[in-house]
Structures are given as structure tokens and as C-alpha cells.
Chain A
Amino acid sequence: MLLLEHPKVLRRSLPSGRRRRPPLLGRFRFGYVSPAVLLVAVLLYLPFLWTVYQSFTTYSGLGPTTWAGLANYRELLHDPVLLTAVWNTLLWVAGTLVLPVALGLLVAVLSFNIRGASWYRLPFLLPYAMSGTGVAVAWSIILQHGGIANSLLSALGLPGGGESFLLYAPQNTLVMILASTWQQLGVNALLFVVGLQSIPREPIEAARIDGASGWTMFRKIYWPLLAPLTAVVVGLSLVASLKTFDIVWVMTQGGPGTSSQTLAIAMYRDTFVADQYGYGSAIAVVLTVVSGLISFVYLRRQLGSRKEIGA
């Protein structure tokens, strides 16, 4: 940040004989940032404020916008459809913590420091090469009623051959969480591997000499030293899972009915399918506040732990 300041000092330090020349740092410095500032102001900040304002109004896409005060938010609290969306979003949040994050950590720890580790991790990274939409198309084909999954289960003599995975709640949300896990696990594993590699060798060697291994080693040494990175992975995954859209939109569009809607899907459907712009805005605001709070708490915890290390 030191570099950013003291333009005046620099200008004054120029030899006085060259005063006629243009100033060292140029005259139109603001011209260089203005495209970026203009772009984010008009296309990101303005729409953001507009959505906040609109969440206090009713607007159907046509006709006038009328002030509605907190009516949209009050409706949010009493809307059974939205309650389903909140419930499903919580399922996504919990499922994301249990599956891609925990399994990612497991894969990272298992493959850490063994020969050929990258080969063992490759199968988990392959699905990440596909886009969310591509993964969703593939999994909905596998899981559709009478599809590959059903046939495979009956061929193996397992239960579930006649199951309609995507047609009933809550199993439709659960199988979509599995599909998302299939895609996300590898990245989380990779992040954890980077974290493991940055752990200093001394405490590990010391613990090994003391006879620690396996689970004890993980619990007493790796886990506490990984904590800052775990906070980042958990924080990122939480915020991403709150905004889950692609997979659900492609696989079920939030249906059948509204049974697999998440908050992000509800926001999209209420706005662009049902033309309730004010109500859709209110859902977006709630989504933003919740994910903002989570990011804030995680960021603070992370900065806090860094301070402890520094002290």
C-alpha cells in the first residue's frame, strides 16, 4: 500500500528546471481506472441497489411499481413453498459439508505422501472437467425413471430398481447432492493437499518419534494445523451451496411441483416464471444477507486465527 500514496511528494521531487514538462505520473490518471469503475458501478452496484429497493415494492414486469414496505418479507415468512426452498437449501448446505468437503479431506489425507499420489487423485479430478450443466445432463439421464441407475440396480439384485430418484422429495435433492459431490470432491481434495504440503515438517516428525500414527496423528497434528485452510474450503463451499442453481435447474427445474426448489431456484422461478419481481428481489436479498453473514463469520475467524499465530 505504500506504493499507492504520496503522489504529491513524488511530483515535488522533480528537478525544478523541468517544470514545463508533463508531471511524472501523467495528467489523466483517473482516465485509466474510469472504465473499470464505470463498468462495476453501472452493471454491478446499481443493479444491486435496485434489487434492494425493488424488494420493498410490487412489480409484475408491466404496469406501475408500487411501494409495499415489508410486505414481501412478511410473505416470505408465511410462504409454504419458500419454506420447502429453505429446507432444501439447508439440505444442500449440510450435504455439501458432509460429502464434498469431508470426503475431499479424506482423499487428500489418504493420498498424502504416498508414491503415485497424483494418479490416485486423478479419478476425482476428471468430473471437474465437465461443466455443471454437463454433469447435470449426464446425471439426470442416469437417474431418470427407468434409466441406467434403475436398470443397473435391478441387474445387480439390489433394492432401488423401481425407485424414481428424481420424482419425490427429499430423495431428489439428496441424489442431486450426490451428483454435485461427484463433480466437486476433486477440487476440495486438491485444496486440502496444498494445505497438507504447507504444514511444517517438525511437528509431524516430533509426533512420529513420540509414537503417534494414524487417527491420533490426524486429530492432534494435521487437523489443527489445517484449520485455516479448512475454514476457507468450508466457507467457499457453504456460500456456493447456498446459491446452488445449475444442477437443480437442469435436473428438475426445482420440481416436480416445487419439491426440490432451492432459494436460488425459487428466486428465478418467482421472478421470471411467475413475474413477481418484488418477491423475487426479496428472496435474492435474503440469500445475499445469509451468504454475506457466513462469509463474514468465516473471514473473521480466519483473520482471528492468523492473529493468534502472529502473537
Chain B
Amino acid sequence: MRKRLLGEASRRATLVVLGLIWLFPAYLIIITAIRPADSFNPSSAWIPSGHLGLWANVAKAWTASAIGQSLGSSLLYSVAAPLLACLIGALAGYAIVVLRLRHGFFWFMLIFGGTVFPSQMLLIPLFVSYAKVGLYDNRIGMIIIYTAISAPFAAFVMRNFFTNVAFSIFEAARMDGASTLRIFAQLYLPLARTALAAVFILEFTFVWNDLLFGLTLTQSPGTRPVMTALAALQSDVYAGTPVPVALAAGLIVSLPPIVLFLATQRFFARGLALGQL
């Protein structure tokens, strides 16, 4: 018994030491992001400034680097594409599971197989063909590709979800004369809202954090997603953008997925029981 207690004390000590190491960079990032832009000096960066410059830094990042404009684009992409993907995925899952589409398993595997392609395999043809059909540097083009990438996962989750819905619901509604589309929209979609919310949040985060497609398929400040603008800000630091401004931008840009996740945590608590956390 004594040995176990001692073991636990040393476990806690190791965790505290490791945890402090992990917190230190986070501390550096936060105190630098909130200090006035002109008060940054690498040789005393770990001492917090007495003045709060966060809002001025954010304002500067907003205007100077087009972060504000790209936030709007990113918000559009990461809301529209997951919504469309959820709808398209739910339709597919409904047809395969509830309507018992012929060769349903084949179609499911075909759709789900879309998750195995690395982005690198898609970039060149997308870039070339987007340029040809006028979707390059175009908001619609970005929504289309993000939807295509998000749809297979949505179809996967919705197929699993609909498998657990009693078929008698469908039969009863059908006997009452409802069309299959109406049953989908008025019965199955509302039933699946928890699963849809979970899918939406995961896809939102994915689209929001994407850098590669934004870098490849957009160019102008009006269409570039926010991660691309943030990445550009990094090279601007060498060209004179104050360090606190860049870090404040990095923090602000990270906020939306966190806020969304915290606001909808109960959906996750229900779905993915992550135990003690």
C-alpha cells in the first residue's frame, strides 16, 4: 500500500513537470499576443507587460493583413460546405439504409472510399480544371471542394445512424401516404439532428483549419480562407509586422472552432463518451 502511494506521488510529480513544460509556450504566446505591439522585445518576452494591447493588436491584424476579410470567407466555407455535406450524406444514408437501394453496399463503399485519397492527389487536377471552368479563386469553387471532401464522412455517420432507426416508422408514414422525400425531411432529418450536429462540428473544424486547398485554389484577399491569410502574416513578420500582432491574429483565428465546440459540448458528451474528461 505504501509503495503504491509513493508511486502515485511520483506519477503526479512527473505529470506536473511535463505539464509546466507544455504550458510555458502557451504562456509565452498569450502574454505576447496581449502586450502592446511596440513593447515586444525577445530578450524579455517572458515578462508580462503592464499594459493591455490585445484589442489594438487584433484591430491591426484585422486591417493590415486582410484577416478580417478572410474570416468572412472562412466562415462561409466552414458553414456552407459542412451543411451541404450533412444534407448530401444524409440523403445517401437514407437511400442506402431506409430505401434499401439496390447494390447499396457498393454505392456506400464508393462514397466512403472518397476518404482515402490524400489531398496531394487532388491538388493538380483541381487547380488545372478549376482554372479552366472559372472556379479558381472563386468562393463557389471552394464550397464545392470542401463539400466533396466532407461528404463521405457525413454519409458514413448517417448510414450508421439510420441503421438504428426502426423501419416501422418509415412503413407507418408510407402507409399514411407520405412521399419518401417528405419522410426524409420531416422524420429522419429531425431524428438525426444530434448525429448531424456532431458531424457538422468536426467538418467545420476541418474546413476552418485547412491550409492546403486555400493555398492552391485561391489567390485574392476576397476568397482566401483565414489560414492562408494567417500563414502569409508569418512571412510578414520578417517584413515588419509586429510579433504581438501576428500572435494575436493566431489566437483570434483559433477561436471559432473552440467556441463552437464548447457551445455544443453536450452533443459530444452524448455521442463520444470520453470518460473522465
Contact = CB atoms under 8 A, between A and B. Distances in A.
A138 B151 contact: no
Interface stretch (A41-49, A67-75, A302-310): A41-49
Contact-size category for B: 35 or more
Scoring B11, B121, B155, B253 by chain A CB atoms within 10 A of each residue's CB, the highest score goes to B121
B117 A44 contact: yes
B53 to A, nearest CB: 16
Interface stretch (B142-150, B189-197, B263-271): B142-150
Task: Describe A's contact surface by its main secondary structure.
Answer: helix
Interface stretch (A81-89, A91-99, A127-135): A127-135
For A30, A42, A213, the residue with the greatest tally of chain B CB atoms inside 10 Å of its CB is A30
B100 A7 contact: yes
A45 B149 CA distance: 11
B179 interface: yes
Interface string B23-39: 10110110010000000
Contact of B211 (A36, A45, A111, A245): A245
A114 interface: yes
A137 B230 contact: yes
A142 B28 contact: yes
A176 interface: no
Contact of A272 (B32, B45, B216): B216
A37 B111 contact: yes
A36 B91 contact: yes
Contact of A44 (B16, B28, B122): B122
A134 B250 contact: yes
B179 A280 contact: no
Interface string A6-35: 110010000000000000111001111101
B102 interface: yes
Contacts of B275: 193-194, 197
B68 interface: no
A40 interface: yes
B89 interface: yes
A250 B232 CA distance: 8
A61 B131 CA distance: 11
Interface of A: 1, 3-7, 10, 24-26, 29-33, 35-37, 39-48, 50-52, 54, 61, 103, 107, 110-111, 114, 117-118, 120-124, 126-127, 129-134, 136-142, 144, 146-148, 150-152, 155, 182, 185, 190, 193-194, 197, 213-214, 243, 245-246, 249-251, 264, 267-268, 271-272, 277, 280-281, 283-285, 287-288, 291-292, 295
26 contacts: A7-B101, A33-B107, A35-B91, A39-B144, A44-B117, A44-B122, A47-B117, A47-B125, A107-B15, A123-B22, A126-B22, A126-B26, A131-B253, A133-B230, A134-B253, A137-B234, A141-B237, A151-B42, A185-B22, A213-B3, A214-B7, A243-B120, A246-B227, A249-B211, A250-B231, A268-B120
Interface of B: 3-4, 7-8, 11-12, 14-16, 18-20, 22-23, 25-26, 28-29, 32, 42-46, 88-89, 91-92, 94-97, 99-102, 104-105, 107, 110-111, 113-114, 116-129, 144-145, 147-149, 151-152, 155, 163, 167, 171, 174, 179-180, 184, 208-209, 211-212, 215-216, 227, 230-231, 233-234, 237-238, 243, 246-247, 249-251, 253-254, 257-258, 274-277
Given A3-B100, A47-B117, A264-B120, 9 more contacts: A45-B113, A110-B15, A120-B12, A142-B25, A150-B42, A152-B46, A268-B212, A280-B124, A291-B118
